[in-house]
Amino acid sequence: MTAAHPDPQALLRLAVATAHEAAELVRQGRAVAADSVDAKSSPTDVVTAVDTASEQLVVGRLLGERPDDGVLGEEGADRPGTSGVRWVVDPIDGTVNFLYGLPAYAVSIAAEVDGVVRAGVVLNAATGELFTAVAGGGAFVSGPAAPQPVRLGGSRPASLEQALVATGFGYRVEQRREQGAVVAALLPRVRDIRRFGSAALDLCAAAAGRVDAYYEAGLHPWDHAAGALVAAEAGLVVAGLPGRPFAEPLAVVAAPSVADEFLALLAELHP
Ligand code: IPD
Ligand code: CA
């Protein structure tokens, strides 16, 4: 393989090793998480010193191994690179869960090659559960209780009425008002709604068939880059609103058996 065409499996191995190191830092930082908290886009959109330290560790490890790569991180890392590879990093996805000690916060690392995500890892730092995917190579989960990777294949709900749907909400008040109206209209049309608090883990939950679908408006690339590959490689439909790309503005993943109906309903609810 040349530098311009790196092996996605090699990129995944580096991402997994890096995510484990970052998750260890995040776990150790939990006890002091509340000591150093700053607000970002709104008073409830927070960043802790641990988010920043995790991003620094991840960027340092990745660029230490591959100095010509680019990187984009939630906490400010942004450099173009020259190798054709760009890493997209969420150092803690689910920061509010992290702050409150709810066990759903993850390190998310994706490797784009020429602008397309080819490898992704989402590691739940609280539980040690690890989701991985390589483009064309399937999606897998492993964890402390079951170290052997298990291939993911989503779920097959019989109808949208039977579908368990995860979603999330942004941090700006106006955005939340709109998202609340959409979810209120959706609730009577599906089995139930879940809000876990980490977009990366929501996407992996859909890949694992723990929910049948997930949607959210206004995500950033670091929220979805790795998780959307995991969902796609698990065989889910990964889409946006009709005629719009995924996550611009709506990110949707759904089991194929309900995807068309779900996308049509979301299009109706997002005028
Ligand atoms: C947030 C989480 C949340 C989602 C928000 C994201 P953060 O990321 O993924 O579930 O609803 O849209 O911003 O702030 O925890 O990294
Ligand atoms: Ca995030």
Whole-number Å distance, alpha carbon 34 to ligand 1 midpoint, is 18
Specify the pairing of strand 250-254 against strand 130-134. Answer: unpaired
DSSP-derived 3-state class of residue 22: helix
pLDDT value of residue 4: 59
pLDDT value of residue 2: 43
- Dist CA 71 CA 89 (whole Å): 8
**Alpha carbon nearest to ligand 1 atom 15, residue:** 94
pLDDT value of residue 138: 98
Domains and CATH numbers, the chain: 8-151 (3.30.540.10), 160-269 (3.40.190.80)
List C-alpha distances in Å: 3 to 69, 84, 114, 116, 217.
10, 8, 12, 16, 35
- Most informative mutation of 171, 194, 223, 224 for ligand 1 (most atoms within 8 A of CB): 223
Write down the pTM of the prediction: 0.96
CA angle 157, 147, 106 (to 5 degrees): 70
Query: What is the position in ligand 1's atom list of the atom closest to the CA of 51?
Result: 16
pLDDT value of residue 3: 54
- Average confidence (pLDDT) per 10 residues, the chain, 271 residues: 75 98 95 77 79 96 98 94 97 95 97 97 98 98 95 98 98 95 98 98 98 98 98 98 96 98 97 73
Surface-to-core class of residue 245, CB atoms within 10 Å of its CB (0-12 exposed, 13-18 middle, 19+ buried): exposed
Contact 224, 236 (CB under 8 A): no
